[in-house]
Amino acid sequence: MSDIKLQRTIARFQAKIDSGSYYEAHQTLRTITNRYVKAGQFEEAVDLLYQGSLILAKKGEFASATDLITYLIQVYTEAGYTSQQKDYKVKLVELISHLPDGESSLIDLCKQATGWSKTAENQFGDNDLHHFFGVKFLNHVKNGDGEGVIRSEDDRLKLFGIAELHLILGTYESLPVYVEYLAEWATGVKGPKSDGSELSTTTTDYGLFLGRAILNYAYLKNIKFVKEARDIFFSIVKDRAQYEVVKEGDLETYIFPEHPLLNFLQLLVITLSLENVPANGKKFMSLYNQYKELLKITGVLGGVEYLGDIYFDLKIGGGNGGGGLASLMGNLFS
């Protein structure tokens, strides 16, 4: 489509919007786009959908804007456009950024966008898109109730689980966003109250919160992120709890009398950082046996057993196939 023809079409669309004829404008734009898609004129279709959804979103017509963004993803797929072609990804992110964090269709839109971005090399989809959606969902969790937004703490906790998954699959920039939130949640500054359970109290073992990041990044065998998650978390919480520093050579460990799971996690990080040799498998088993009862009580035993399998080929316990992260992935990416 020539620039002049595009401008005329958009001008007519804008005129209908300005007159309040949102439904008519939406359907007309869809009809014109259909013609270009059938003719294989995908760039023209992309231009129309991009401009149209942007105008609708700015007018607060979020349902109609979402419909056109969904259509845009379908055009991307049919045209063979990928997230490696940066311009298409940027357009998509820009459009979705104009939708409220609490837009009801955002989860489905996220599935479609990340699904479009999957490749043979990245089976979970584009990391930048995961970061974008993770931050958007987490902002919704932080901001609490709003108009038609989250109405219960249970809903907030569920949404945090979704935000968490996308941040884990995100980028290096996702790491501090995710872990800083966990640390603030652990110390009672912010976070879902877990439907009234013990996780809402500041006396709970901080390891329950750090453990989410450690286990999730360890499942992905991202030891660099495992170590950085530990360091970021400790930089925030260590001055909010009693601890002792134990040094052994160049190794420095914080011992928290009231947070034994934190102590276990530090030793777990060290163990997972070792090369996969039989002797280190024995070290893992020694650590596992020492803390097994604590791991049962805190509900992370299955996840730790799974790590023993994937890192040291240890067949211990029943295993859980990767714990919470694997369950979330199964639900969202099946």
Annotated domain spans of the chain: 1-99, 194-334
Return d(Cα 270, Cα 288) in angstroms, integer. 13
pLDDT at 222: 94
pLDDT at 144: 67
Question: Which option is the CATH number for 194-334: 1.25.40.10, 3.30.565.10, 3.90.1150.180, 3.40.1280.30?
Answer: 1.25.40.10
**DSSP sequence for 229-253:** HHHHHHHHHGGGS--EEEEETTEEE
**Alpha helices, DSSP H, located in the chain:** 3-18, 22-38, 42-58, 62-79, 86-97, 106-116, 127-143, 153-168, 174-186, 207-219, 223-237, 260-272, 278-298, 301-312, 323-333
Q: Give the phi and the psi of residue 245 in degrees, each rounded to 5.
A: -105, 125
- Element spanning 299, H or E: none
Structure tokens given for 286: 């020694």
Structure tokens given for 69: 């963004």
Query: For the CA atoms of 319, 321, 325, 331, what is the dihedral angle to 10 degrees?
Result: -130
Single-letter residue type at 181: Y
Indicate the length of the chain as a whole number: 334
The one-digit pLDDT tens for each residue of the chain (334 residues) are 457 777 888 888 888 888 888 888 899 999 999 999 999 999 999 999 999 999 999 999 999 999 999 999 999 999 999 999 999 999 999 999 999 998 989 999 999 999 999 998 889 999 999 999 999 999 999 886 555 455 678 888 899 999 999 999 999 999 999 999 999 999 885 555 544 344 444 458 999 999 999 999 999 999 999 999 999 999 999 887 787 778 776 677 888 888 999 999 999 999 998 876 667 889 999 999 999 999 999 999 999 999 999 999 898 876 555 555 555 444 444 3
Cβ atoms within 10 Å, residue 305:
20
